Amino acid sequence: MSDTTDTASEPTADMDTVPGHEPEAPSVADARREAHDIWVSGTEERFPFSTATNEGAQEMLPEADDPGAAMQAGIAVDDDYTSEPTVEPEERQIINMGPQHPSTHGVLRLHLEIEGETIRRVKPIIGYLHTGMEKTAETLTYAQGATNVTRMDYLAPFHNELAFSLTVEQLLGLEVPERASAIRVLMTELNRVSSHLLWAATQGMDIGALSMMIYGWRERETCLDFFEKTTGLRMNHNYIRVGGVAADLPDGWEDDVASLIATITVGIDEYEELLNDNPIFIDRTMGVGVMTPEECKQYGVTGPMARASGLNWDLRKTNPYCGIEQYEFDVPTGLHGDVFDRYIVRMEEMRQSLRIVQQVMDTMPSGDYRSEDRKVTPPPRKRIDESMEALIHHFKLFTEGFRVPEGAAYQSVEGPRGELGCYLVSKGGARPWRMHWRAPSFAAVQALPVMMTDSLLADVVASLASADPVLGDVDR
Amino acid sequence: MAGISSEPGFLMTTLEKGVNWARTNSMWPASFGLACCAIEMMGTGAAHNDLARFGMEIFRASPRQADLMIVAGRVSQKMAPVLRHVYDQMAEPKWVLSMGACASTGGMFNNYALVQGVDQVVPVDMYVPGCPPGPQSLMHGILSLQKMIMDGEIRNSTGVF
Amino acid sequence: MASEHVSESTTDDALVASVLKDADGATVVEQQYASSQTRYHRVAVPVDGYVAAVSAAKDAGFDMFVDLYAVDHFAQAPRFEVGVNLVSMSANHRIIISTRVPYDDPTVPTVTGLFIGANFYEREAYDLFGIDFPGHPDLTRILLPDEWDGYPLRKDASVGAIPVQFKEGSVDL
């Protein structure tokens, strides 16, 4: 493609005004694309997706009836399956994938209607991990709530706790100390790194790069070791709570974080060395599973997937929380919205997160790690030994809980998978009246047909892994 | 080579012991990851903890080739029939390990959506506590199960050799 | 940078007012996020003007579909609330447009014609609350099994907890 480099150099037209970081990585990707003579979407006029469904979910634009639309943009190689379907509909077959399937990242089930090797229709079926967390939350106090929500998106427990705590704090009108906010930023950014490492591991594994899986897991363990040291648990921490965090950082945390940053930075370079020049990886990811920015907006797809499509939208920039605006970082965006761009974006995001972690480490304020508001925060352990009132106060706080003023609030954080939002309704009691979660994976799973329709059967796992759905997040 | 005889020797054992030994050391798990515990289960198999040391590195995607079902995570009412279906497809002898609080008892989610303990659906040979159990806990559970198989305490779900 | 948008709350008010110029009986609540300077608007409209308000919001630049939720207010009439969460990337603003419907007629017109992404969310609201969305392309249960009876997140549905039985240990060892 001759115009590939031209498109890469000029800013995307429909982008938000927030100036984004132009990472070096996409230009590397463009060079690869040219070298391999791959026809890539995003550099051409985007064609709407032609689907044979009447379910509504998979029809994108009114031009979908256009016969030329069957020449779907975003397919890597010029092959038979991009041309007009010649097979009669009754010759199609439906195959079932999941819910027990190694590549579905949990218990996702897909109905695939295939025509030879080409997928013509996809229907995601979810609910196999429905845990009833939103109902259980109505029986738990606000202090217990973080225990519940941390098990939702189990790869990003800190983000879940943060979104929940911020929403309750919004209803309470509570300000948290600076140190608590800084610890929150530190832990959530490290969590983003660990989550992306696991994504890299599973993406590699799903498309056959098994060594990537071993490496990703190796580096993730260094993050988990630090989490365990700080919170006491490897996962499901219940660390970020309403009013601050549960405990201060352990002694010598600076050394741990510094060695962690050094290890993972080297690790990310190694992965890029392993995958960027890997012809199999490139062939299996470039031009596969394309989503346009318009489709991302329509389906509510956020996070790295939307950024890979070229939407410069990161809640840490557009709606900063916990003082994250004082740290310097860039938002990487892709151009083509395919699996390879999602890989590039996530790799760069890990680097940016480590950059934030480094800055938090350098500027960590002193002070309290949780709010001094005695309505929310239990008295310190030492006070309980000395004072009867403190003991009673502690007891009341953990049996009855604190009351939250009547109202409704929505707050979202930029999770590793996109906008993770919590909608809370309070009726003035000590327990939420209703807790609704805006789960990024839910939107991503809904958008799977857009990525998969009219692509090859083998690309299903590549597209699926690049969406990085966590089924605990989807089904809740 | 001074202390080792070069003469061909022989080894005596009972058939039962030999079979138990073979079964113990090549127990292939079916990858039945459901929720948080599945991540720790995969972490156990990865480089850091290396489940391959115990002959269990191959997580089989097909239940037909697996001996051990590690139920890793919460089992919803919608998933329970699927779980039983997968269990029925596994060939004898087969064992079930219930990993984590949710699979064992429903854990903290005592509500409409979850099966309160996977032992209501399939017979369980070993429970591993934790939320989620760390790799060490899981390995302890697996090794305890292996010891029970080696000692002949449990054979298979039908009780027939 | 983002701060350019943040301080211009008057622009945001004008934007929200332009969305609601045709909506009768709308109430607007402005709220501020915790640990942040940014604001967002929660708008309640009657069910008749719900789709029109969402459509107006889409035309006004709120073109990113984020969320659709349902709430059961139980003792209050009208009982059910359904809300759509939209974001305008160009104005960097969020609007939540909600409507209330009574228990005996829990019917909310679908917004899947405006935002395809509402498909799964409306199915979820139907599954857990029993709210009907006429015009939805495939209104079936999504999280629960198809043969499930009842709507578990309604307030009159029980949590479904099974009391823990503390039994004696097995003795036939």
- How much is the pLDDT for A50? 35
Does C134 fall in a domain? no
A91-112 pLDDT, tens digit each: 778 888 878 776 667 788 888 8
- How much is the pLDDT for A15? 41
Q: Which residue among B78, B110, B116 places its CB closest to the CB of C145?
A: B78
pLDDT band at C169 (very low <50, low <70, confident <90, very high): low
Does C80 fall in a domain? yes
Residue C69 bridge partners (DSSP): C83
The answer to whether residue C61 neighbours chain B at the CB level (below 8 Å) is no
Residue A415 bridge partners (DSSP): A418
- d(C-alpha A417, C-alpha A205), whole Å: 19
Q: Is the Cβ–Cβ distance between C84 and C111 less than 8 Å?
A: yes
Mean pLDDT computed over C1-12: 48
Q: Is the Cβ–Cβ distance between B48 and A217 less than 8 Å?
A: yes
Q: What structural domains and CATH numbers belong to chain A?
A: 7-36+128-475 (1.10.645.10)
**Range of the structural domain that residue C121 is part of:** 3-129
Does C25 fall in a domain? yes
Q: Say yes or no to pLDDT of A44 above 60.
A: no
Mean pLDDT computed over B111-128: 88
Name the closest residue on chain B to residue C142, using Cα atoms: B78
pLDDT band at C147 (very low <50, low <70, confident <90, very high): confident
Mean pLDDT computed over B16-42: 83
Does C59 fall in a domain? yes
- Parallel, antiparallel, or unpaired: how do β-strands B126-128 and A418-426 relate? unpaired
Token pair, residue A415, equals 């999770």
Q: Say yes or no to pLDDT of A33 above 90.
A: no
Q: Say yes or no to pLDDT of A446 above 70.
A: yes
- A214 CA to chain B: closest CA distance, Å? 6
Q: Say yes or no to pLDDT of B140 above 70.
A: yes
Q: What is the CATH number of the domain that holds C67?
A: 3.30.460.80
* Half-sphere exposure in the Cβ direction for A450 (13 Å, CA): 30
- A156 CA to chain B: closest CA distance, Å? 11
- Parallel, antiparallel, or unpaired: how do β-strands C93-101 and C39-44 relate? parallel
pLDDT band at A38 (very low <50, low <70, confident <90, very high): very low
The angle, 0 to 180 degrees and rounded to 10, between the axes of the packed helices A253-275 and A339-362 is 160
Q: How many domains does chain C have?
A: 1
Mean pLDDT computed over A46-67: 38
Q: Is the ipTM of this complex over 0.95?
A: no
Instruction: Tell if the CB–CB gap between A169 and C120 is shorter than 8 Å.
Output: no
Mean pLDDT computed over A451-474: 87
Chain B residue numbers with beta carbons less than 8 Å from the beta carbon of A106 are 33-35, 38
Residue A243 bridge partners (DSSP): none
Q: Which residue among C66, C138, C144 places its CB closest to the CB of A300?
A: C66
A205-226 pLDDT, tens digit each: 888 888 888 888 888 999 999 9
- d(C-alpha A29, C-alpha A344), whole Å: 8
